[in-house]
Amino acid sequence: MFDLIKKTLLTGVGLAAMAKDKIEELAKELAEKGKLWIAVA
Protein backbone atom coordinates (compact mmCIF):
# COMPACT_ATOMS: atom_id res chain seq x y z
CA MET A 1 0.00 0.00 0.00
CA PHE A 2 2.70 2.49 1.01
CA ASP A 3 4.75 1.45 -2.02
CA LEU A 4 1.86 2.36 -4.33
CA ILE A 5 1.44 5.76 -2.64
CA LYS A 6 5.19 6.39 -2.87
CA LYS A 7 5.26 5.51 -6.58
CA THR A 8 2.22 7.72 -7.24
CA LEU A 9 3.83 10.68 -5.48
CA LEU A 10 7.14 10.19 -7.29
CA THR A 11 5.33 9.98 -10.62
CA GLY A 12 3.48 13.20 -9.85
CA VAL A 13 6.73 14.94 -8.91
CA GLY A 14 8.37 13.66 -12.08
CA LEU A 15 5.51 14.92 -14.25
CA ALA A 16 5.58 18.30 -12.51
CA ALA A 17 9.33 18.61 -13.13
CA MET A 18 8.86 17.70 -16.81
CA ALA A 19 6.03 20.19 -17.15
CA LYS A 20 8.16 22.92 -15.55
CA ASP A 21 10.97 22.26 -18.03
CA LYS A 22 8.57 22.35 -20.97
CA ILE A 23 6.99 25.60 -19.74
CA GLU A 24 10.40 27.24 -19.34
CA GLU A 25 11.41 26.05 -22.81
CA LEU A 26 8.20 27.43 -24.31
CA ALA A 27 8.65 30.75 -22.48
CA LYS A 28 12.20 31.11 -23.85
CA GLU A 29 10.96 30.30 -27.36
CA LEU A 30 8.18 32.89 -27.12
CA ALA A 31 10.61 35.48 -25.75
CA GLU A 32 12.95 34.90 -28.70
CA LYS A 33 10.07 35.25 -31.16
CA GLY A 34 9.01 38.43 -29.37
CA LYS A 35 12.50 39.86 -29.81
CA LEU A 36 12.36 39.04 -33.50
CA TRP A 37 9.05 40.88 -33.86
CA ILE A 38 10.45 43.91 -32.01
CA ALA A 39 13.51 43.90 -34.29
CA VAL A 40 11.30 43.76 -37.39
CA ALA A 41 9.03 46.58 -36.16
CA distance 26 to 33: 11
**Chain mean position to CA 40:** 29
pTM over 0.85: no
CA distance 36 to 39: 5
pLDDT at 1: 75
pLDDT at 13: 86
* Per-residue pLDDT reduced to its tens digit, 1-41: 788 888 898 898 888 888 988 988 988 898 888 876 666 66
CA distance 30 to 37: 10
What is the phi/psi pair of residue 29, to 5°? -60, -45
Q: How many CA atoms lie within 13 A of 24 on its CB side?
A: 6
